[in-house]
Structure 1
Amino acid sequence: MASKSVFVKVDRPIGFSDKSHAPYPINYGYVPTVTGGDGEKQDVYIVSDLINEPLQSFEGKLIAVVHRADDNEEKWVATTENETFSAAEIAARIHFMEQYFDSTVRLI
């Protein structure tokens, strides 16, 4: 199966911090053309060993969906074209946020 390309507008770059969380260890953003389950733009975690600087935007491949049993939305996970991650590796990278939810990582 060919990977699906996704364009992400980053609104929470590496280092971003809000009132209730420690600084973001990865880039996080949204797909401007897709509406998520909460009625807002579809959120995306950007997981990569090659990217360790804050981004403004990102284009890469969609590799997983994070299902939240206790929320009305799912999160997508994207990475660079040449990287792959297991569900466990993804879960570890997004734990900073997903620890507050009953979530499961499903590879696609």
Structure 2
Amino acid sequence: MTARKQYRAVIDRPIGYQDSYGNIYPINYGYIPNLLGGDGEWQDVYVVSEKVSTPLEEFEGELAAIIYRADDVETKWVLTTAGETVIYDQIKQATHFLEQYFTATIELL
């Protein structure tokens, strides 16, 4: 099995964060500094992990999946702890709070 690539993310919307639309974040959400996403901003990431259940300021982990939005210019990356396996249904459930508003597909890596 090939090791997945590691990334460091800044968490700007930790667990419990409420955005201006009323969405409450059940997982940590942030971005990878100095890596541009499809919208010209830093690449957005969700942290999906059975081992992470507290709000974070930073996270270093492996790229486990990419969420492609058919109706948006952005892709969302899914990071998890080193060596942890996350499955499709786990990612879909964890990210539903935002991805429910888009037509998205998940590619496991």
TM-score (norm 1): 0.96
Residues 48-68 of structure 1: per-residue CA shift (max 9 Å, x gap) = 111111100000100000000
| Aligned equivalent of 1:106 | 107
How far is the alpha carbon of 1:22 from its aligned partner?
A: 2.7
Q: Identity over the aligned pairs, expressed in percent?
A: 51
Mind listing any 5+ residue stretches in structure 2 that lack a counterpart? none
Runs of 4+ aligned residues of structure 1 deviating over 3 Å after TM superposition are: none
TM-score (norm 2): 0.95
Q: Does 1:33 align with 2:34?
A: yes
Q: Does 1:76 align with 2:77?
A: yes
| Aligned equivalent of 2:24 | 23
| 3-state SS in 1 of match to 2:3 | coil
| Structure-2 separation of matches of 1:27 and 1:21 | 16
- Aligned amino acid, residue 33 of structure 1: N
Mind listing any 5+ residue stretches in structure 1 that lack a counterpart? none
Residues 11-40 of structure 1: per-residue CA shift (max 9 Å, x gap) = 000000012133100000000020000000
Contact 2:23 2:98 in 1 (8 A): no
Comparing 12-21 with 58-67, greater Cα deviation is found at 12-21
| Structure-1 separation of matches of 2:33 and 2:48 | 19
Q: What is the number of equivalent residue pairs in this alignment?
A: 108
